[in-house]
Structure formats: structure tokens, C-alpha cells
Structure 1
Amino acid sequence: MFRRPLDFLESLPVHGDLVEIRLGPRRAWVACDPRLVHRILMDPRTFDKGGPLYDRLRTLMGDGLVTCRQDDHRRQRRMLQPAFRPSRAADCTRVVTEETEAVCRGWRAGQRVDVTAEMLALTTGVTSRLLFSDSLDAGRAAAVRACLAVVVRGLFVRTVVPVDALYRLPTPGNRRYRHAVLRLHTLIDAIIAERRRGPSRDGQDDLLGTLLEAAAGDGADAPTEREVRDQLVTLLLTGVESTAMCLASAFGLLADHPEAERLLHDEVDGVLAGRPAPGPGELERLVHTRCVVTETLRLRPPGWLFTRITTRETELAGRILPRGATVLYSPYLLHHRAASFPEPEQFRPERWLPDRDTPVPGGAMVPFAAGSRKCIGDALAMAQATAAVAAVARDWRLRPVSGPAGRPRPAATLGPRSLVLLAEPRARARARRTATAQSPAPRAAPHHPRTGFPMGR
């Protein structure tokens, strides 16, 4: 599980639908069958958020929406729901496009681009604007990325070897992890304090404003000071890291599959027609682009391993599990089952085309979980990823440096940790930039996005 976790997970189904394993000294059960996973996700009162993963996440996120127990989940979701209205997808798309252009502006023909680092910069920019407008400057954004890089590595180790005594030792790795968590909390606390001290920002409808407005109320559902920070840390981690891993994986897969890339470029050229962002109603026309994102989430799900804890004695797959038992499920394992997805190791975006009437078994495709604990921003997350892929593909091809990218590296999220590809400007993009340079530049209008945060897990 620690050395080769993906191979280990894929080896489990031959042992049954529910397989007992050990995580350090702890017994745990892995649900390998989609029907079992569907039952687990649809019954969160019996299979609550808990186990090694969430025990570690709570030290980082507190009791925010992703980590809170089921009895507090409805209150928190109701509080945050206004920030995730589907009507905000258009505003989210504009922010994504602007941040993508800012990242790609520094690319040059033939340059070796660290796509993972660039996608982290992109999602940090998008997430920070949606969470707290312009409060995260370049220095803070770099600090956030550095903290998250340490945290996601440390969380995986602490999940598969849940022995608390090991992580209290003053080793360099433990000190880096504790410092990263503390630094992340300090950054968010400073932003909250600055917003409270600063002038009124009634025109800025970001998530921090939503939370502070709710905290100012005197109702029983008003969040505490600690909860405001917990929610921001939760959505910052899930929004930056998970989306960046999805995008980096998508470009790595496209680089290895030229035909899928060609179809993507043809669609983007036809729909965008040279414009930087999809207009109203045009995001839905990026059908193949969305299929690329969906197939990436199947083949390389950023959230690849999750734990639950039983709240009572219960039967699962003919086994009686005691109260407090740890149950695991892996989207990676489920998404790679041949019974659910023919040729599961193949990158085939066309399997998600609307005219492909091939039903997916319940519980077989769960990149955003399911049931009442399904990702609150799944629709906006798909819009964000689709818009980002289209914005990059409009102007650039990303080529392999030497051979296929290979399998991703698991940590708290799954994805390429340092994917380097060659940047090649597209011919249409070069012609468009030449025409733009020869014509008067349009006068830019000021833009104040009114958006909600799009990701969580």
C-alpha cells in the first residue's frame, strides 16, 4: 500500500468484493465492488466521514464542509450553497480564462514547460480570486503553493501508516509538515483580519464575504471565527490541488494521444472562433473538451482514496463490521474495472459522448463522490476544468519531451508531480496574434467578477 499503492489496490478484487487489509496496526476493509461503494456513499449516517484520511485532514481543515461529521453537514452545506449556484458558471469561466492567459503569456516556442507547476499557478490564481478576490498577492500565492506541496505528500503517508507516535518525532519531514500547516493557517487568518479591518466591499461577492456575512448574524447557524477559517482552508486545498492535478493529467494524456488532441483543437477553433473564452451558452458546445476532462477524471482521479468510519454495527457484503470500523473506497480502483469500463487503461474521451448510450453502474464513476456528501461544486468544477483546457488548447500544443508521461504519482491527490512538456504555438494562434498586433488594441473595460468557489471533495 505504501510502496505501490495503485498496483496494490488493483490487486484486491480477486480476493472479493470487500477485502480486509491493515493500515499500520489498524484493520480496515476496502470496498471493491461499485454496488458496495454506492451503498456506502448513499448511507452517510452509517458510513460517516472518518478513518485515517479524515483524522489527518481535520488537523489541516478543522471541521469544514469536507471533513465535518454528518450531523453538522446539512447546516454547513446550506450556509455555503449560495456561492455554488450554477448561474455563476459564466463568471467562473471568465476568471479561468483570464488566469490561463496570464500563465501562458510567459511561454515561448520550444520551451520546456513544467505543466504541473503552471497548472498549480493557474488554479491558485483562480481559487484565490473566487475565495477572497484580490487578497492573495504573488508572494502569498507562492507561499500557498509551497505549503500545499508539503501537505499533500505528508497526508498520504499519515493515511497509510496511521501511527501518531511516528509523526510526533522531530524529523525533518515532520517539521516541514507542521510548519506548512501552521503557515497555511497563518496566511488565511491574516487575510480574514485584513478584510475585517478594511473598507466595506459590498461590490465583491466572494466566498470570504459570504462567510463573514453569515458570521455577523445572530442565528444558531452562524459560523464561528474558527469555522470561517476552516471553510476557507478546505476550499483552498481542494480547489487548488485537485483541479491542478486534473488539468496536468489531462494535458499529459492529450500529449500521448494525438488524435484526441486534434479533435480537441478542431472543436476549440470552431466554438471559440479566436475569442479567449466561451460566450453565453457556448461552454455546452465544447462537448469533446468536456469528454476529455471526464475521461481524465476516470483514468486519473485526483481524489483516488477515501476512508469512512462506521457509526454502528452493520452488515456489508456478508461481513458484520463493528462500530468504529474503517472502510475504504478508491475511485481509481472503481474507474479501472473492466466490467464497468471496457479497455479501462485506454484514454478514450469518446466513451462519454452524449450519443453513447452505455450506462455506467451506480458507484462505478465517482470522481466527486455521491449522495448528500457529493462535492458541492461538482458542476462548477467541470465548467472550470473545461474552460481551462479550452483556453490553453486555443493557442498551444503541449508535446512529450521523451516518451509517454507514464503513471501518476499518488499522494493525498493523484497526478503528475512534475510533468514537463514542450510548448508549441499553434498555427492559427500565431496568425491571430499577428493580426491583433497590426490592429489597434481594444480598450479594456474594468472587470469585477461575482463568483462562487467551484471544487471540494
Structure 2
Amino acid sequence: MPGAWPLLGHAVVLLRDPLGFLRSLPEHGDLVAVRLGRVRAVFVCSPELVQQVLRDDRTFDKGGPLFDRLRETTGDGLGSCPHAAHRRQRRLVQPAFNRSRLPGYGRVLTGQVEGVTASWDDGGTVDIVAEMRELSTAILLGTVFSAESLPSPLALPGAGADLRTVVAGIGARTVLPPALAGVALPGSRRYFLARDRLRRFAGDIVAARRGGDGGDDGDLLSALLAAGDPDSGRGLSDTELVDQVVTMFVGGIDTTAATMAWMLHSVAGRPDIARRLQAEADTVLAGRAPSVQDLPALSLARQVVTETLRLHPVVWIVTRTVTADTVLGGHPVSAGTVVAFSPYLIHQRADCYPDADVFDPDRWGPGRTPPDRHAFLAFGDRARSCVGNGLAQAEAVMTLAAVASRWNLHPVGGGPVRPTRAAVMSPRGLRLRVTARTDTDSRR
């Protein structure tokens, strides 16, 4: 692909305008050669070829710049471990997200969602990204750890700040030429110090729970501690537990917060959809806080969340490493090649989604031909799909219903909201003005 800089390759273009760079790739073919420093990668632009990559996760194993950087923090957690470790880890982690445990997690969701959305001031301006990050952090801590296992509350803000440093660092280091990855740049030093503190934070909690009574506290960590491989009976080691907990931190806070921020931004810009959401919330909730039992009835809210994930997938680029010589799209690909694809790029293809740049929740509704489910990659697909996607979607749907039942949302400022340049693409500087619905008092 043209536009490469000497030594740096396409890294400068990718950092300067990542989404514009991604949108430009299909015009060069289904497979496009790009270069990040000395690393050469093949970018896959066709949904059919992306599915070939995802189906064969042995040949197209997790690796490349993104997962090299991710493993610096999460180790071999479920989201970043190689194929050789994945099946065992999936069997051990999956029970923690079993539907039977959702009602217990749901009580945390209900309390935290209601607490945050009820705290806003009528007519006030809300930093939506910060509010959604606070909410998703509280929900994750409440579902992963019981209150008794948490350290002093004074440690939590520090852990949250370290997490933001780590997530931003992963994004920047993904496109950093490998020769610079080990250089002691100021940003790299902050990143590694934050990484070390975050892992110690998780390790302290795991150690405390190992020394406890071993009972089930109804949280995710209890399920992980109790997990045993059906073949060997062996559970997760302390290091593996820390890897899983940090993976949940990295994968479950900023990603969900960014999705909910984009979701509320999109609704604020579409008063017609906001009115329909309010009518749905009034009918289903009748003035009470949302619960997981309400999820099946909140159909429009689910469509809004799904469309938000399509239009604003927060994980915008994914890499794999080829483990054996193979053929992709009729082209030979040698072992060791880095292969990349983008959920954002696939979600923007007009052949997958007509009027792809339009926010249209009804494309997921009744009476419409549903999009090909394999062209929806917000949570990955196939064997390596996100294990926590059900919990994340429940959080977003309940938050949207709670907001719709109480508030009108109004955009602040006239300029476009742009994404941050990080591993997780949050809306930069998003603020919304909130006004109480005029009929709220009569319903409550």
C-alpha cells in the first residue's frame, strides 16, 4: 500500500487518522500489505476472509503487535493466550459467565446503574465518558470481587488511574515500531509502572481469597477459584488467576464505558429514537429500576446497543500471527506473517450494512432482514469470541433503560465528537446536558 514513511512505514498515517486509514484499505484489495516499522503485516478487508482467519485459530493464532503489547499486562489471560492454552482456559473461565449466575451479578448492575443515573443534576452537564467509566468500574469490581475481598477503597482510584494508563499505552505501543518498544521513553516508563501496580493489586486480592474459607461469594472470582478442568481436575494457578482478573480489568471497564458513552451520544443526537426508548422504559419499568429480568422486554434498547457496537466498535484493530504456511484469499501466506483485521472496517462495508454510516437501530429489529451475524465482530467471533459479552450487553441495556426512564439528553457543542487514539476508542471530550423528564415525578 502506498503512503509508507521511511523506517516508520504506515505507523504515522495510522496514528494520525486511524479510522480514515482503515476506510481506505478496501480500495487496494481484499488483502493489503502494510508496514509498521520493520514489521510487515497483511490486512484482511473481506468479511469472508476474516471468517477464514477466525475459524482457524490454530493457524491464525493470537499474536502480532496488538497481542504482544496486551500480554505485557494480561499475561496469558483468556483474551490473549495462544491457541495451545485457550481451550483449557475457556473451559475453566466459562462457568463464571454461566446464565445461572447472571441474576446474582444483576443485583450489582441494578444498584450501580440506579445509583449513577439518579445522581445527575437537572440541567447539569455531564462528562459522559467519566461517568460511564465510574459506572463500569464499580460494576466490574462488584461482579468480580465481593465487597469483603476488596482492598481499602483508597486503593481503587489508583487502580483505575493505572488501568487508564495501561489501556492508552497498549494502543500507542501497538503501532510503535518494535525497535522502540523496549526503549525507556517517558510514556513507556509510566506504562510499565502502572502495569506492575495493577498486577500487584489483582495479586493481593487473589492471595487474600486463597487464604479465605473457600466459599462461593457469588462473584466471578469465586467461580474462577472453584473451576476445575474436567480432564485433569486441575484449576487455575495464582498466576493464571491474576492474568484472568487483569484481563477482565482491561477488557471489561474501558470497553464497556466507551460503548455506553457512544450509545448515549448517539441517542442524544436522535430525539426520535430517544422518545421511543422512553416509551419502552415507561412500559417495561413503570418507574422502577431495571433488572436483568427486564432484558428480554427491552428490545429497542438492545437494538440501540447492538447498533452502537456496530458503528463504534471499541476494539478497532485485531492482529494474528500465522503459525504454518497457508493460503488466504488465493495467496500464499508464510508462517510468521502478521495478519490484521478491523471490526470497524467490516462494519463500514456497504455490502454488509446498507447505509453503513447511518445510526439505524431498526436494522436489528423485526421486519428487517438481519445482517449476517458473522459480519458483526464487536465481540469477536467463533472460538475466540468474548466470554463476557452477555454481561457487557446487559450492563449497557440496563443503563440505557435507566437513563431513558429519567432523563432527556442534549448534545453540548456543535463540533463532531471524535474518538481517542488508543487501544479502546472512546469519544473524546464527550459532554451531554441532562434534563429531567417532566413526567418523572408523577411516575415515581
Instruction: Give me the TM-score of the superposition, normalised by structure 2.
Output: 0.92
Q: Does 2:437 correspond to 1:426?
A: yes
Which residue type is aligned with residue 40 of structure 1? V
| Partner-residue secondary structure (3-state), 2:16 | coil
Alignment CA distance shift 1:273-1:50 (3 Å): same
Per the alignment, residue 350 of structure 1 pairs with 362
Q: Does 2:352 correspond to 1:336?
A: no
- The one of 176, 192, 195 equivalent to 2:206 is 192
Per the alignment, residue 425 of structure 2 pairs with 414
Q: CA deviation at 1:376?
A: 1.4
Mapped to 2, the partners of 1:396 and 1:292 lie a distance apart of 17
Q: Does 2:103 correspond to 1:90?
A: yes
Per the alignment, residue 158 of structure 1 pairs with 173
Instruction: Write the mapping of 1:203-352 to structure 2, written as runs, cut at 5 A.
Output: 203-214=216-227, 219=232, 221-278=234-291, 280=293, 282-352=294-364
Task: Determine if contact 2:417/2:429 at 8 Å carries over to the other structure.
Answer: no
Q: CA deviation at 1:219?
A: 4.3
Superposed CA deviations along residues 348-386 of structure 1, whole A, max 9, x for unmatched, are: 11111032124x246421111111111112223222221
Task: Determine if contact 1:75/1:221 at 8 Å carries over to the other structure.
Answer: no
| Partner-residue secondary structure (3-state), 2:289 | coil
Mapped to 1, the partners of 2:145 and 2:382 lie a distance apart of 29
Per the alignment, residue 85 of structure 2 pairs with 72
Task: Determine if contact 1:52/1:162 at 8 Å carries over to the other structure.
Answer: no
| Partner-residue secondary structure (3-state), 2:439 | helix
Residues 74-83 or 144-153, more deviating = 144-153
- Tell me, which stretches of 5 or more residues in structure 2 are unaligned? 1-13
- The one of 181, 191, 194 equivalent to 2:195 is 181
Per the alignment, residue 444 of structure 1 pairs with none
Q: Does 2:412 correspond to 1:401?
A: yes
Task: Determine if contact 1:93/1:387 at 8 Å carries over to the other structure.
Answer: no
Superposed CA deviations along residues 244-285 of structure 1, whole A, max 9, x for unmatched, are: 1100110011111111111111111111111102463x3111
Alignment CA distance shift 1:347-1:221 (3 Å): same
Task: Determine if contact 1:120/1:145 at 8 Å carries over to the other structure.
Answer: no
Per the alignment, residue 10 of structure 2 pairs with none
| Partner-residue secondary structure (3-state), 1:409 | coil
Task: Determine if contact 1:65/1:77 at 8 Å carries over to the other structure.
Answer: yes
Mapped to 2, the partners of 1:279 and 1:272 lie a distance apart of 12
Superposed CA deviations along residues 151-187 of structure 1, whole A, max 9, x for unmatched, are: 1211112111232x42433332112111110111111
Per the alignment, residue 49 of structure 2 pairs with 36
Per the alignment, residue 450 of structure 1 pairs with none
Mapped to 1, the partners of 2:210 and 2:120 lie a distance apart of 38
| Partner-residue secondary structure (3-state), 2:206 | helix
Superposed CA deviations along residues 197-254 of structure 1, whole A, max 9, x for unmatched, are: 44x2625122222233348999463222111100110012111111111001100111
| Partner-residue secondary structure (3-state), 2:321 | strand
Task: Determine if contact 2:105/2:219 at 8 Å carries over to the other structure.
Answer: no
Per the alignment, residue 375 of structure 1 pairs with 386
Which residue type is aligned with residue 82 of structure 1? P
Mapped to 2, the partners of 1:26 and 1:166 lie a distance apart of 12
Task: Determine if contact 2:62/2:320 at 8 Å carries over to the other structure.
Answer: yes
Per the alignment, residue 447 of structure 1 pairs with none
Task: Determine if contact 1:131/1:208 at 8 Å carries over to the other structure.
Answer: yes
Mapped to 1, the partners of 2:124 and 2:338 lie a distance apart of 47
Task: Determine if contact 1:53/1:307 at 8 Å carries over to the other structure.
Answer: yes
Task: Determine if contact 2:277/2:300 at 8 Å carries over to the other structure.
Answer: yes
Backbone CA RMSD of aligned residues? 2.0
Alignment CA distance shift 1:216-1:142 (3 Å): farther
Task: Determine if contact 1:110/1:423 at 8 Å carries over to the other structure.
Answer: yes
Instruction: Write the mapping of 1:5-154 to structure 2, written as runs, cut at 5 A.
Output: 5-134=18-147, 135-136=149-150, 138-154=153-169
Task: Determine if contact 1:283/1:383 at 8 Å carries over to the other structure.
Answer: yes
Mapped to 1, the partners of 2:123 and 2:380 lie a distance apart of 39
Which residue type is aligned with residue 319 of structure 1? H
Mapped to 1, the partners of 2:302 and 2:225 lie a distance apart of 34
Which residue type is aligned with residue 334 of structure 1? I
Mapped to 2, the partners of 1:122 and 1:230 lie a distance apart of 23
| Partner-residue secondary structure (3-state), 1:192 | helix
Which residue type is aligned with residue 175 of structure 1? R
Q: CA deviation at 1:193?
A: 2.3
- Tell me, which stretches of 5 or more residues in structure 1 are unaligned? 434-457
Instruction: Write the mapping of 1:435-450 to structure 2, written as runs, cut at 5 A.
Output: none
Which residue type is aligned with residue 352 of structure 1? W
Mapped to 1, the partners of 2:322 and 2:335 lie a distance apart of 5
| Partner-residue secondary structure (3-state), 1:427 | coil
Instruction: Give me the TM-score of the superposition, normalised by structure 1.
Output: 0.89
Which residue type is aligned with residue 241 of structure 1? D
Superposed CA deviations along residues 413-435 of structure 1, whole A, max 9, x for unmatched, are: 122143111121112323345xx
Which residue type is aligned with residue 340 of structure 1? C
